[in-house]
Amino acid sequence: MRYLIKRLAFLLFTLWLAVTLNFLIPRLMPGNPAQIMVQKLVGEGPVNPQLVRAVGIMLGLPRGTLWHQYGLYVYNLLHGNFGVSYTYFPYPVMTVIAQALPWTLILLGTTTIITFILGTALGALAASRRGTWFDTTATITANFTATFPFFWTALMALYVLGFVLHWFPQSGGYDAAMMPQWSATFVLSAVYHSVLPALVIVVTGTGGWLFGMRNNMIHVLGEDYVRLAMAKGLPRREIALAYGARNAILPNLTGFAMSLGTLVGGSILVETVFSYPGMGYLLFNAVGNSDYPLMQTIFLFITIGTLIANFVADILYGVLDPRTRRGGVSA
C-alpha cells in the first residue's frame, strides 16, 4: 500500500513536472520562439488573431507575468485546449493529435510488450543454457541488432522487404486509397502496413532486454536458493522458471524506464522512415514546419505516455516482489 502511494505520488509529481517543463522550455529558450512564429505568420499574409492567441498561450505571451501565463496555460491544458496547429490550420492541435495518437499507441504498445516478453524469455533461455551454441548465437546476434541505429535498420528493411521484394508496403499506415474507418479491409490494411515498422522496432529493441535478463539470471542462478533448488531434485524447468526467471525479472523491470526511453526514441525514427501516421512522424513534421504549438503538445503527450508506462511497470514490480508488500505474519 505504502509502495503504491509512493509510486502514485511520483507519477503525479512527474506529470506536473512534465507540464511545467513543457511550459518553460519555449519561454526559456534563446530567440523567443513565440516572436519567431508570429513574425512568420505575419510574413505569410493576413494574420489570423485566433492563431496568434494560441501561439501566445503555448509559447509565451508578449504581456503578463510568468505566473499569469502559467495559470492560463494550465487552465487551457485542463480544458483540453492546446491551441491551433500552424501546419494543419485551422484544426486545433488536439484534433491533429487525436488522429495520430492511436497509431502510435498501438504500434508502440504492442512492440513494447513483444520486445519485453521476447527479450526476457530469450535472455532467460540464454542464461540457463549458458555456453551452448544457443547462448552464443543469441548474445552475439543481440550485440549486433541492439546497436544498429533504428533508422538504418528501418531503411534496410524498407529497401529489402519493401522496395526489392515487395513483401510489404513502403510507407504509410494504411492503403492511401482508403479512408480511415472501422472496416475489416481497413484494419487488415493497417495491420499489413504496420508489420514492417513493428518488425524493425522488435528486432532492434529486443537485444537490450535480452542482455539485461541474461545478466540478472546468471547472477540469480549462482544464488544459494537456486543451488538448494537443485539439491531438492526439482526438475530443471521448474528451477529455471520459478527460481531463476522469477527472481531475475525483478531487476529487469527496474531498468524498464531506460529501455522504454530507447524504444520511444527509436519509434520516432522508424515512423519517420515509414511515413507512419503516428506521433513520431507528426513530431518530425511539426519540427520541420516550425509548428511549435503542435510540437510542444506532442512532446507533452509522449512524456505523459512514457510516465504512465513506467508507472505500470513499477506497479507490476510491486506485485511481483513480496518485499515491497508490508504486513504479513511478522507485522
Partner 1 sequence: MQRPVVSIEDVVVTYRSKRRHTALTSVQGMSLEIGAGEFVGLVGESGSGKSTLANAILRLLTGGGEVERGRISFNGQDLLALSEDALRAVRWQDIAVVLQSSMNALNPVATVRSQFRDVIRAHRRSSWSEQQVDAEISRLLSLVKIDPKYASAYPHELSGGMKQRVAIALALVLDPRLVIMDEPTTGLDVIIEHEILTDLRELQRERGFAVLLISHDLGTILEVADRVLVAYAGRIVEDRPAEALLNHPLHPYTRALLDCYADPGADQVRITYIPGQPPNMAALPPGCPFWPRCAEAEERCKQGRVPPPTVLESGGMAACHHAAAEVAAVDSARISGAVYVKSSTNPNVNREPVITVSDVSKTYHRERRPVVALRGVSLSLPRGTVTALVGGSGSGKSTLARLITGMERPDRGTIRFDGQDIPRLGRRGLHAYRQHVQMVFQDPFAALNPMNTVGYTLIRPFVNYGRMSSAEAFDRVRQLLEQVGLTPAEAFFGKHTGELSGGQAQRVVVAKALAADPDVLVADEPISMLDVSIRAGILRLLDDLRTQRGFTLLYITHDLLSARLLADQVIVLDRGEIVEQGLASDVIRSPQHEYTRLLLRSIPNPRRRMLPPKAQVSH
Partner 2 sequence: MRAVVASLVSSFGLLWSNWRARLGLVMVGGFIVIAILAPWLAPYSPTSQAFGRMLPPSAAHLLGTTQLGQDVFSQLIWGARTSLLVGAAAGGLVTLIAIVIGLLSGFLQGWVDDVLMLLTNVALVIPGFPLMIVLSAYIPVHGVGVIIIVLSVTGWAWGARVLRSQMISLRSRDYVASAEFSGESVLRIVFREILPNMTSLIAASFMGAAMGAILGEAGLEFLGFGNPQVVSWGTMLYWAENSSALIAGQWAWIFAPGLALALLGVGIAFINFGIDIISNPKLEA
Contact of residue 230 among partner 2, partner 1, none (CB under 5-8 Å per partner type): partner 1
* Shortest reach from residue 331's CB to partner 2, in Å: 26
Query: Bridge partners of 92?
Result: 84
Q: Which residue has the cell 487552465?
A: 75
Measured over the CA atoms of residue 242, residue 247, residue 249 and residue 253, the dihedral's sign is positive
174 dihedral zone (left: phi>0; alpha: psi -120 to 50; beta): beta
Instruction: Among 230, 241, 258, 312, indicate the residue that binds partner 1 (CB under 8 A).
Output: 230
Q: Does 295 bind partner 2 (CB under 8 A)?
A: yes
- Smaller CB separation from partner 1, 191 or 228: 228
- Positions in 239-258 near partner 1 (CB under 8 A): 242-243, 246-247, 250
Q: Which residue has the cell 485542463?
A: 78
Query: Bridge partners of 110?
Result: none
Containing 169, the helix (H) or strand (E) segment is none
- Smaller CB separation from partner 1, 181 or 330: 330
Q: What is the rounded CA–CA span in Å between residue 196 and residue 204?
A: 12
Q: Does 196 bind partner 2 (CB under 8 A)?
A: no
- Positions in 69-128 near partner 1 (CB under 8 A): none
C-alpha cell at 167: 513483401
> 15, exposed or middle or buried, with CB in 10 Å at 0-12, 13-18, 19+?
middle
- Smaller CB separation from partner 1, 53 or 246: 246
Q: Does 25 bind partner 2 (CB under 8 A)?
A: yes
* Shortest reach from residue 243's CB to partner 1, in Å: 6
Q: Quote the crossing angle between the two packed helices 184-221 and 150-157, to the nearest 10°.
A: 130
Contact of residue 188 among partner 2, partner 1, none (CB under 5-8 Å per partner type): none
Q: Does 302 bind partner 2 (CB under 8 A)?
A: yes
Under rule CB under 8 A, how many of the chain's residues touch partner 1?
27
- Smaller CB separation from partner 1, 121 or 250: 250
Instruction: Among 57, 61, 84, 158, indicate the residue that binds partner 2 (CB under 8 A).
Output: 158
173, 270 Cβ separation under 8 angstroms: no
Q: Does 245 bind partner 2 (CB under 8 A)?
A: no
Question: How far apart are the two ends of the chain, measured CA to CA in Å?
Answer: 14
Under rule CB under 8 A, how many of the chain's residues touch partner 2?
59
Listed in sequence order, the DSSP H helices in the chain are 2-28, 33-43, 49-59, 66-78, 93-128, 133-147, 150-157, 184-221, 224-231, 236-238, 246-254, 256-274, 279-288, 292-320
- Cα-to-chain-centroid distance, residue 312: 13
Q: Does 229 bind partner 1 (CB under 8 A)?
A: yes
Q: What is the rounded CA–CA span in Å between residue 266 and residue 207?
A: 13
- Smaller CB separation from partner 2, 229 or 263: 263
Q: Does 129 bind partner 2 (CB under 8 A)?
A: no
Site string for partner 1, 291-320 (x = CB under 8 A): -----------------------------x
Residues that bind partner 2 (CB under 8 A): 10, 13-14, 17-18, 21, 25-26, 29-31, 33, 130-131, 135, 143-144, 146-152, 155-156, 158-159, 163, 215, 218-219, 222, 257-258, 260-261, 264-266, 268-269, 272-273, 283-284, 287-288, 290, 292, 295-296, 298-299, 302-303, 306-307, 310
